[in-house]
Amino acid sequence: MILYLMCFFLFLVGVYGAITKRDLIKIILAIGIMGYSVNLFLVLLAYRTGALAPILEKGFNVPMVDPIPQALVLTSIVIELGVTALMAALAIRIYQKYDTFDITKIRRLQG
């Protein structure tokens, strides 16, 4: 249980970073941390003490780890890769236009 709470704590660390930091790169890293905490949570869900890799064979009667969360983690890593790459590209283009990574100086929109 304490491990799950630590995952949630890591998630909150990510949220805190994404909300309070002013640097575009730090925001991207904070979003990465949020993603890692969720991935960690999913992997912990699948873990069973002393279990084997889930390859089914006839007459195979040992406890196995749950394969579905592992597949979910792989997929979510791929998605995070896409989002991070896109946000890094946007950050670089913003730097070209504004010459800064500081979000308090990037305020041409009023909303």
Partner 1 sequence: MQNNFPNEGMSVIVKTITRFTVWLIFLYGLYIVLHGHLSPGGGFAGGVIIALSYVHLTLAYGKNFVLARVDKFAMNSLESIAAILFVLTGIVGLYVVGNFLANFMGIGKLYTLISAGYIPMLNIFICVKVGMGLYLVFYYLASFKPQEG
Partner 2 sequence: MILSQFIFVPLLAAFLIVLFARKKENIAAVIALAACAWILIVSFIAFFKLPAHGGMILNNTSGWSIPYTISLVLDNLSAFMLIVVNLVAFLSAFYAIQYINHFTGKWNFFALFMLMLTGMNGVILTGDFFNLYVFMEISLISAYALVAFGTESEELEASFKYATMGAITSTMILFGIGILYSYTSTLTMADVGLQLRNVGTPKLLFLVYGLFIAGFGLKTALVPFHAWLPDAHPSAPAPISAMLSGVLIKTLGVYALVRIFFNVFGAPTVVLQILMLLGTLSIVIGGFLSVVQWDFKRLLGFSSISQIGYVVIGFALGTPLGILGGLLHLFYHAIFKSLLFLDSGAVEYATDTRDLRQLGGLSKEMKVTSATTMVGTLSISGIPPFNGFFSKLIIIIACISAGQIVVGIIAALVSIVTLAYFLKVQKHAFFGKKGSAKVLEKVPFAMKTAMIILAALCLISSAIMIPSIRKQYLNPIVDTVMGKTSYIDKVEPYLDKGGVK
**CA geometry: angle 95, 99, 102, nearest 5 deg:** 75
- 90 is an interface residue for partner 1 by CB under 8 A: no
Task: Tell me how far apart the alpha carbons of residues 52 and 50 are, in angstroms, rounded to a whole number.
Answer: 7
- 53 is an interface residue for partner 1 by CB under 8 A: yes
Cβ atoms of 46 and 66 within 8 Å: the answer is yes
88 touches which of partner 1, partner 2, none (CB within 5 to 8 A by kind)? Answer: partner 1
**Residue number, 99 or 110, with CB nearest to partner 1:** 99
Neighbour count for residue 69 (Cβ, 10 Å): 18
Tally the C-alpha atoms within 13 A of residue 14's C-alpha that lie toward its C-beta.
17
Give residues in contact with partner 2 (CB under 8 A).
11, 14-15, 18, 24, 27, 31, 34-35, 38, 41-42, 45, 56, 66, 68-69, 72, 75-76, 79, 82-83, 86-87, 90-91, 93-94, 97-98, 106, 108-109, 111
